[in-house]
Structure 1
C-alpha cells in the first residue's frame, strides 16, 4: 500500500501536571481545561441529547499556511450514559487570534527564545509537527516548551487581577463539570511509519525465500509481533467488515494513535458510513461556505479519558471533524466558531484497551 501523504499521527505523551506546566493555546493536549485565545469568551457547550454541560476532550493548535492567525480546535463530549456514542453528544469549536497577540493577552509578541509558536506558514504544506523541535523527537519539544514557559513566567510579570478573577469565576462555574486527566500529545508523520513497514515486509520476504530454499520453517518475525498483517486478517475474519478491516490495516503500525490530522485529506471510517455521508456535513454556520475534513479522534483515546480518580467515561469509535474551508474569522470576535463532527461507534473496542 502506498504511503499516505501529509497525515500526522498523534500519540499520548506524559501527563500534563498543572502544578509543573503552564499550558496555553499553543499546547496540544488531551483533557484538562481548554485554553482560549485572549479576548475569546470561554463558552460552556452543552449536550444536544441530554442538555448536560460537556467536558473538554482534546485541544489542537493548528495554524494554517499563509494565515496571520493562531488557530485552535477544541473538542467537547458529554460523559452522560450513551451520549458520546453519537454526534449529538459532541461539539467542536474553532477559535483564532492574530499572531501579534501573545498567550497572556498582550499585544506584543513573546520572545521566541521563551515562547515558540509555529508560524502559520509552517503548518499543513510544510510542517511535520505541532510545535515540536525536530531534534526533540516525539515528546521532548512540547515538554521543553512548557518548561521554558514556566521559567519565563516571572519575567513576563504576574497575571493581572482581572485575569485571576476570570479564572476564579470559571472554576466556580465548572465546579460540577467532569474534567478529564490531561496529557501532552506528541506527533509523528504517518509516512515515517510506513517506511518502517516497508523494511519489515522486505525482511519477511527474505525469510520466506530462505524457508523455501532451505526447506525449514522459521516463524520468529511472525510470532514476534511484527504482526500488523496477522491482526488485520483476524479482524477481517471476525467482522466480515471491509471498512473495519481497512481501518485496522491502516493503523496497524501504530495502534496506540489517539488522533489523525490531515486537513483536506481523506477520512478513515471505522465502519460503513451512511449513504451520501458527504451531504450530512453542513455548511459553515458563520459564513455559509463548505466544510472539509481536518482531523479525527481514534479508539485508543477512550482509555485515556478518565476521571482523576479513574474510570472510563466516554464511548466512541472515531470522531471525524469537518471545518470551514476558508477558516472564516471576524477580527476582534469574542466568540468561537462551531464546526461539524460525525461520530461512529467502535465495533470492537477491546482491541484498543
Structure 2
C-alpha cells in the first residue's frame, strides 16, 4: 500500500554548522552519520565530480533510521542522462543485524532474508500531549510512515492548508535521536549549490485551496476570457483539432501534472513510498531495474521537481573552467526496493550502517 504523498517546500537557508544527518535539505554539502565514509564516483559522461543536490530523511518500517541522498552532474549536457545522477540510501541496521566489529559482510542471501523477517521494530513516538505516558507502543509497519521528515519546521509556511496536519508532521520530526558530522564524503563537487532547509506537509486534497490558489484562479480566469475573445473573433475552426489533442497521452499527462502541481504550486519535492511520480510529458522515462536482488519490485520513492532549480541556482555554482550551463531537468525520480532489503550491492558500511545505490529516472525539460 502506497504511503500518502508528502510535499517538500523550500524554507530558510540551510547552515551546515547546525545540520544533522537526519535533516532534509537541498544544496550545500551532504552530512553523513558518524564514522561513515562514502565515495561518490565522478560523472561517467564528463568525468567531473558530482554535485550534492538533496538529502532526505526517509524512514521505512524495516529501517526507521534511513536517509536518501541525491547527487548530479552540474552540467546541462549531462543532467538529462540518468547515468550522470547518483542516488544512495543509508540505513541503520536493526540490532539483530549489527555485526561485531571487524566481521565481514559475508552473510548469505537466505540468511539475510531471515534476519529481515525477524522481530518487528517498535518505535516510541515522542508526544507533547498530557496523556502521552498512557499511549501504547506502536509498531513501525502499522504507522504507514510518511517518510520525509525535516528540521522541526520551525516556521510553518502559514497556509491554512499546510497547517492542518502540523501536529502529525511535527510528531515524526522529533521522534529519533541525532548524530553529529563524523562521516565524510569523498569526491563531492567543491562548488556547492545554494542550500535551503526543506519543510514538509501532506499534499492538499483535490479541490482544497492553498494560499496561491486565489492568484492562480485570477490568472486562469484572465486566460479563459482571452480565449473566449479569440473564439468570437473567428478562430472557432481551431477547436476541432484542439479537441482531438485533448485525448492524446501527451495532453493527458501534462493536464494531470498541472492539476496536481496547482494544489501547492511552490512544492519542489514529492515523497510517496510505493506511490506514483507525476511526469509533465509522455512517455515517462523507463526504469532500468524493475526487480531488486531480493525479488521484490523496485518502486517509486521520491521526486525532485524542476522548481527546485530556482533555489539551487546551478548556473552560479559552476567551476571556473566549465563552459556549459548548469544542470537542468523537468523531474528526477528515485526508485528503491519495496522491502528496503540489504541484499543490494553495498557502497559503504560500518558495523551499524550500510549504504546502497538507488535507481533513478530523469525527464528532461523539453516539454
Per the shorter chain, which TM-score range? 0.5 to 0.7
User: Where do 5+ consecutive residues of structure 1 fail to align?
Assistant: 101-111, 114-118, 201-219, 349-353
User: Which has the higher mean CA deviation after the structures are superposed, 83-92 or 175-184?
Assistant: 175-184
User: Where do 5+ consecutive residues of structure 2 fail to align?
Assistant: 96-125, 128-137, 228-241, 319-324, 344-349
Deviation track 1:27-49 (CA, whole Å, cap 9, x = no partner) reads 01001211222343222232132
User: Which has the higher mean CA deviation after the structures are superposed, 185-194 or 320-329?
Assistant: 185-194
Tell me how far 1:245 sits from its aligned partner: 2.3
Q: Which residue number in structure 2 is paired with residue 257 of structure 1?
A: 267
Deviation track 1:57-85 (CA, whole Å, cap 9, x = no partner) reads 011101013x3540010011001241011
Structure 1 CA distance for aligned equivalents of residues 89 and 56 of structure 2:
10
5 Å matches for 1:12-161?
12-18=10-16, 21-65=17-61, 67-98=62-93, 121=140, 125=144, 127=146, 130-131=149-150, 137-138=156-157
Tell me how far 1:26 sits from its aligned partner: 1.0
Deviation track 1:160-193 (CA, whole Å, cap 9, x = no partner) reads 9xx5xx76xx6xx658632111101111211357
- Matched residue count: 281
Partner of residue 337 from structure 2, selected from 324, 348, 352: 324
Structure 1 CA distance for aligned equivalents of residues 276 and 223 of structure 2:
22
Going by fraction, where is helix more abundant, 1 or 2? 1
Determine helix, strand or coil for the equivalent of 2:86.
strand
Q: Which residue number in structure 2 is paired with residue 242 of structure 1?
A: 252
TM-score (normalizing by structure 1): 0.64
> Is the 1:255–1:300 Cα contact (8 Å) retained in structure 2?
no
More contact order relative to length (CA 8 Å, sep ≥ 6): 2
Q: Which residue number in structure 2 is paired with residue 196 of structure 1?
A: 209
Tell me how far 1:326 sits from its aligned partner: 1.3
Structure 1 CA distance for aligned equivalents of residues 255 and 351 of structure 2:
46
Deviation track 1:101-141 (CA, whole Å, cap 9, x = no partner) reads xxxxxxxxxxx79xxxxx98399715486246699634999
Partner of residue 224 from structure 1, selected from 218, 226, 234: 218
Alpha-carbon spacing, 1:229–1:248, altered in 2? closer, same or farther (3 Å): farther
Structure 2 CA distance for aligned equivalents of residues 122 and 283 of structure 1:
22
Q: Which residue number in structure 2 is paired with residue 300 of structure 1?
A: 307
Structure 2 CA distance for aligned equivalents of residues 50 and 71 of structure 1:
31
Tell me how far 1:223 sits from its aligned partner: 6.4
Q: Quote the RMSD (CA, aligned, Å).
A: 4.5
TM-score (normalizing by structure 2): 0.62
Determine helix, strand or coil for the equivalent of 1:301.
helix
Deviation track 1:274-302 (CA, whole Å, cap 9, x = no partner) reads 69x45x334336x4642111111111012
